[in-house]
Amino acid sequence: MIARFTMVAAAALLSMSVPAAAAEKAPKKEKWATKVIADKPRPVTIDPTKSYILVRSPAQIAPVLMRLPNAEQAAAHEVERQEAFARVHRSWRKRVASIELDAKVADADPSKRRKPPEPVEADFGYPSYEQKHTVFLGPQNRFSKVDGSAYLQEVPPGEYIFYAVGATCACLGTVSFDAPAGKVVALELSPTNNPEGTTPFQIGAATFADVRLPAESVLPAAFKPAGMRSNWFGIAVDRVLPIEGVFTYERGKQVAGGVAAIAVPAPEASSGDPVAGQP
Amino acid sequence: MAGPLLVAVAILATPAMAEDAAKAEDVTKIIPDPVTVVMPKLDFTETEADRADYDKYFYFHRADTGFEEALADLRECDGMAKGLQSGIQYQQPPYPYAGTMAGAAGGLLGSLMVEAIAGSAEKRKLRRVNMRRCMGYKGYARYGLQKDLWQEFHFEEGFSGEEESKRQAMLAQQAKVASGTKPVTGELGI
């Protein structure tokens, strides 16, 4: 009887605490799973409901990618965040009630007992959607070792950002790319070491041919500037180098369009060496 | 695995930290009147020993930059340097409640691993490197400073952090310098 009452009370408390948006419509929990495609002799079967990201690099590296949410996924994540906050707030209420009860039993002034501060939703540290949808590749389990390293990962379709390699993130400026269903999106990635101490990332679209992959399924990645990202892991920060025709930097901020697009007038660019005129 | 995580949550859940974090929320948003910010002393007679320490003791300056813009840039880079932007509350909760086990496991593990691998000195070094890259990419030049003068308006953070109000006061002084008169000493590069 007591157990049943407790359950009913808990259910009532829960219903009071869950935000209205969550109570009205609870979005379906998103399934999140990725799979390494390792170096095996047999052909890769492309699942038409999945995407594949292929990262090529001259050396063995450990790239980190993150999926960006679409509007529906962002809304679902926000509901999860609110629910998590409601749970935390409920715990706080219980803790305060317990402290007050203890004081009452001890015949002490409850206001003199030190109580934890009330959680504030604006400061609630809940992991971002990107943190919860992270893809770790390498440095082992390469798909190919020919001409460097190639890593292949099966992922849910969507838009992904390049976040880091090892313990250095591209937090000061990165790019995103689409990974459509049934396709292998190929990109080239290599960390650099500049004499002045910076370690920016060279990233670009890649071509990739391998008898184990259907040639028509492999696409070069098409990049979009994705701005700065939080240093979620407290690691070294750097950025992606400007990509011609995609973006450059002005005072640390990404500006759409590339170096050549700004520096080279259109008539000259179309008649001469496309590389000429770059700074 | 749950053991170390529980210990970590308990450590992070001290009331003192919670109070500090509550105070921090306000001071990080305040933009002080630059007139009220004390301009630190920057002139000194340079020695060989000073020059040898310029990788640690330096300040930033950028032409055509106002105080407010410089403060925003310094705060952004400070957050990047330390990993203090939105996700950090998950890694280092400002109060006990952010350390819910389900959500915090990954972030805590990440923090603990970084701290276990890198000592306090390495963390301080990482902060310096991150500040230099972030401010350098924003176009700020770097200038060397004598250690004693540097300590008057800068902080270093290893395992223990500086109180947020002190950090913000120092960042405001750094912003005053960054947006002030161009230094006559040589630029150091990123």
pLDDT tens-digit profile of B177-187? 999 999 999 89
Select the more confidently predicted residue: B90 or A155: A155
Q: Which of the 8 DSSP states describes residue A135?
A: E
Q: Reply yes or no: is the peptide bond before residue A48 cis, omega within 30 of 0.
A: no
Measured CB to CB, residues of chain A less than 8 Å from chain B are 84, 87-89, 91-92, 114, 116-117, 119-120, 122-128, 131, 171-173, 196-198, 228, 230-239, 249, 251-252
Select the more confidently predicted residue: A107 or B109: A107
- Is residue B100 predicted with pLDDT exceeding 50? no
In order of A71, A203, B15, B26, B150, the CA distances from A115 in angstroms are: 39, 51, 8, 21, 39
Sign, CA dihedral B119-B125-B129-B130, equals positive
The pair of three-digit structure tokens given for residue A130, joined into one six-digit string = 């990107």
pLDDT at A235: 93
How many other C-beta atoms can be found within 10 angstroms of the C-beta atom of residue A24? 9
Q: Which of the 8 DSSP states describes residue A144?
A: B
Beta-strand runs (E) in chain A: 35-37, 51-57, 63-68, 134-136, 149-155, 158-165, 168-169, 174-179, 184-191, 201-205, 218-220, 223-227, 236-237, 247-250, 253-256
Select the more confidently predicted residue: A10 or A267: A10
Specify whether the CB–CB gap between A213 and A183 falls below 8 A: no
Tell me which residue of A193, A158, A146, A127 sits closest to A65, measured CA to CA: A158
- Half-sphere exposure for B170 (CA within 13 Å, toward CB): 16
DSSP string, B80-93: HHHT-STTHHHHS-
Mean pLDDT of A72-79: 94
Using CA atoms, how far apart are residues A173 and A187, in angstroms rounded to an integer? 17
DSSP string, B27-80: HTT----GGGSPPPP------HHHHHTTTTSEEEE-TT--HHHHHHHHHHHHHH
- Is residue A277 predicted with pLDDT exceeding 50? no
| Interchain pair B129, A236: CB under 8 A | yes
Q: Which residue has the tokens 């540290």?
A: A125
Select the more confidently predicted residue: A47 or B99: A47
Residues in chain A, total:
279
A31, with CB counted inside 10 A (0-12, 13-18, 19+), is exposed
Mean pLDDT of B39-50: 96
- Is residue B23 predicted with pLDDT exceeding 60? no
Contact list, B83 vs chain A (CB under 8 Å): 230-235
Using CA atoms, how far apart are residues A150 and B79, in angstroms rounded to an integer? 34
Specify whether the CB–CB gap between A81 and A124 falls below 8 A: yes
Using CA atoms, how far apart are residues B53 and A277, in angstroms rounded to an integer? 40
A139, with CB counted inside 10 A (0-12, 13-18, 19+), is middle
- The pair phi, psi for residue B108, each rounded to 5°, is -65, -45
Specify whether the CB–CB gap between A172 and A238 falls below 8 A: yes
| Interchain pair B103, A197: CB under 8 A | no
pLDDT tens-digit profile of B143-168? 999 999 999 999 988 767 778 889 99
pLDDT at A125: 85
In order of A193, B79, B97, B129, B182, the CA distances from B176 in angstroms are: 32, 19, 37, 22, 11
Q: Least CA distance to A251: which residue of chain B?
A: B138
Contact list, A235 vs chain B (CB under 8 Å): 83, 114, 126
**ipTM of the shown complex:** 0.77
Minimal CA separation from B164 to chain A, in Å: 15
Sign, CA dihedral B181-B185-B188-B189, equals positive
Minimal CA separation from B80 to chain A, in Å: 6
Q: Least CA distance to A235: which residue of chain B?
A: B83
Candidates B15, B107, B138; nearest CB to A252: B138
pLDDT tens-digit profile of B55-90? 999 999 999 999 999 999 999 999 999 874 433 333
pLDDT tens-digit profile of A32-65? 999 999 999 999 999 999 999 999 999 999 999 9
Specify whether the CB–CB gap between A242 and A259 falls below 8 A: yes
Confidence of residue B106 (pLDDT cuts 50, 70, 90): very low
| Interchain pair A251, B100: CB under 8 A | no
pLDDT tens-digit profile of A160-181? 999 999 999 999 999 999 999 9
Confidence of residue B118 (pLDDT cuts 50, 70, 90): low
Instruction: Please check whether residue B107 touches A, CB under 8 A.
Output: yes
Average pLDDT, chain B: 76
Select the more confidently predicted residue: A264 or A98: A98
Minimal CA separation from B62 to chain A, in Å: 10
Give residue B131's identity as a one-letter amino acid code. M
Minimal CA separation from B50 to chain A, in Å: 20
Using CA atoms, how far apart are residues A56 and A147, in angstroms rounded to an integer? 9
| Interchain pair B87, A89: CB under 8 A | no
pLDDT at A273: 31
Confidence of residue B48 (pLDDT cuts 50, 70, 90): very high
Instruction: Please check whether residue B87 touches A, CB under 8 A.
Output: yes
